[in-house]
Structure 1
Amino acid sequence: MATNLRALYDDLQRSFNSNDLKKCGTLLSQLKIGLIEAGLLIPQGDPSLDDLVVARDILEIGAIWSIRTRDVPSFDRYFSQLQTFYTDYSSVLPPSKREYPIRGLNLLISTPLSKALPLSADAIVDNPYISHPVNLERWLMEGSYSKVWNAREEAPVEEYKFFVDSLMGTIRNEIASCEESAYESLPLKDAATLLFFNNQSELLKFAQQRGWQVDLSSKTIVFAKKGEENTEIPKEKLITASLAYARELEQIV
């Protein structure tokens, strides 16, 4: 490997370890050009084992950097480039401690997971990087939103929390839509519990985004009135929604 490429790689490692995301981005751009020129981005010819390890490490850092900067398309590109190293050179390269955390991150954005699972069913249980996204998908299908919420603190690496936060945003909006349809108002405390907010300020910000009226004196949220196009909600739907909320409350408590 060229001396200048090795120097950039060493600089990337230092920047990555210090979480200097801006400098990492600059160095990754330069290093990818260097990998292309050296025939290592998509390995060609007969590269040395050391060069392959360095190239894989650069791409792995790029994948994790992408998540830390909330750039999912960039992560997709890095993961695609890593497949050559994880598949074609798996019998040659030493194991990478970053491979399964990165594979797990890819699972978190894959639908359905069954098409992308890199391990057998038995091995998944023993691998927290893979079992975490698998469990998330199952809990989402079950509607066990409290388990999804708790999964944030059980994330095997910090980068997984980005996806859990994204999921919770979607879940909150779904729950909020049900609340708007089922209730005219709710106490602030109950609304915060149902929406998985840890404090009132987070709830108030969310309420403003949804156009809800907040009465701080009575500690109540009044939901925005619906247009005439909305029909009366069947009693069975109300009962089902109430039971679902009750189950979630029991799990939280």
Structure 2
Amino acid sequence: MASVETLYKELTAEWAKRPPNTKKCGLLLDQLKVALVKMVFLPTDGSEAQNSKKQLLLARCVLEIAVEHSVLSKDLQAFERYMSQLKCYYYDYAKIIGESDNKYKLLGLNLLYLLSGNRVSDFHTELELLSVDIIQHNQYIRPILALEQYIMEGRYNKIFQAKSSMPAEVYNYFMDLLVETVRDEIGACIEKSYEKISAKDAAKRLNLRVPDEIKVFGEKRQWKLEDNGNYSFTDRSIKPKEALPSEELAEQVLSYARDLEMIV
């Protein structure tokens, strides 16, 4: 236990530096993870809940740092893994160790991560674990819920504006990913809505202010740039006509009519 506490003190001291040395923190986290597993700090079943409060608190603190460290390292797999472990302490062991000051900051971070990957169903699953009061008033949860609302309403300009007003600095990376996801959605809409559009107008809709940015975006989407500076989507709008499955549709309609008649 003494050696684990020494490692933890070294980690917190390094993590408190701004900016922290992510490589050194990563090495310390690796050592702590091994030590925690050996000492059975990480819960695997209900019997682990009887471990000392001090040990469980230490494990939770380590995981909280690990979650933020994975974001700084841009390691999404590690983020999901640590977040999954951390939620055990937030939800299953709260009666033993109390509520963490970082709980809603990291739960909000997880919601933003799901939103940035367009994982809407997972987003709502996580949201259902929170109380109505927290969803409506918490400083970390409420802004993320607003982002989801903007996406559902197609108010993408609000997403771009919200980038500079995130509740914590650690949110910035996932916010950048969300902006890219939104730009891809706008790009797909442009392809469907226009036969041609100028690079200037496309950049305006995508909230891109540097000329090279629209060029990079267009190349990523494989947009055809004409000599006059317009993007052409004529080849994308021409689609082969598909025959309607009339027989199948007729059978389905008749089936619905029979079911409706039986109900009446």
TM-score with structure 1 length normalisation?
A: 0.79
Q: Provide the residue aligned with 1:27 in structure 2.
A: 28
Say if 2:223 and 2:231, in contact at 8 Å, map to a contact too: yes
Instruction: For structure 2, list consecutive stretches of 5 or more residues without a partner in the other structure.
Output: 242-264
Whether 1:146 aligns to 2:157 is yes
Residue 157 of structure 2 aligns to which amino acid in structure 1?
A: S
> 1:221–1:229: structure 2 CA closer, same or farther, 3 Å change rule?
closer
Q: 1:53 aligns with which of 51, 54, 57?
A: 57
Between Structure 1 and Structure 2, whose CA radius of gyration is higher?
A: 2
**For the residues of structure 2 that align with 1:45 and 1:160, how far apart are their CA atoms?**
31
Shift of 1:56: 0.7
Q: Deviations over 1:18-54 (max 9, x none)?
A: 3211122211111111001112122737433322221
1:41-80, aligned counterparts within 5 Å?
A: 41-42=42-43, 44=48, 46-80=50-84
Q: Provide the residue aligned with 1:104 in structure 2.
A: 108
Shift of 1:199: 2.1
Instruction: For structure 1, list consecutive stretches of 5 or more residues without a partner in the other structure.
Output: 233-253
**For the residues of structure 1 that align with 2:141 and 2:97, how far apart are their CA atoms?**
21
**For the residues of structure 2 that align with 1:229 and 1:212, how far apart are their CA atoms?**
15
CA RMSD in angstroms, aligned pairs only: 2.6
**For the residues of structure 2 that align with 1:179 and 1:116, how far apart are their CA atoms?**
32
Q: Deviations over 1:198-251 (max 9, x none)?
A: 3222222212323345579x6x3323652695369xxxxxxxxxxxxxxxxxxx
> 1:222–1:37: structure 2 CA closer, same or farther, 3 Å change rule?
same
Higher mean Cα deviation, 26-35 or 75-84?
75-84
Shift of 1:171: 2.1
Q: Provide the residue aligned with 2:245 in structure 1.
A: none
Q: 1:83 aligns with which of 80, 87, 108?
A: 87
Whether 1:204 aligns to 2:208 is no
> 1:171–1:74: structure 2 CA closer, same or farther, 3 Å change rule?
same
Residue 83 of structure 2 aligns to which amino acid in structure 1?
A: F
**For the residues of structure 1 that align with 2:15 and 2:230, how far apart are their CA atoms?**
45
Q: Provide the residue aligned with 1:121 in structure 2.
A: 132
Structure with a larger share of its residues in helix: 2
Equivalent pairs, count: 229
Q: Deviations over 1:99-119 (max 9, x none)?
A: 111111222216333322243
TM-score with structure 2 length normalisation?
A: 0.76
**For the residues of structure 1 that align with 2:23 and 2:59, how far apart are their CA atoms?**
20
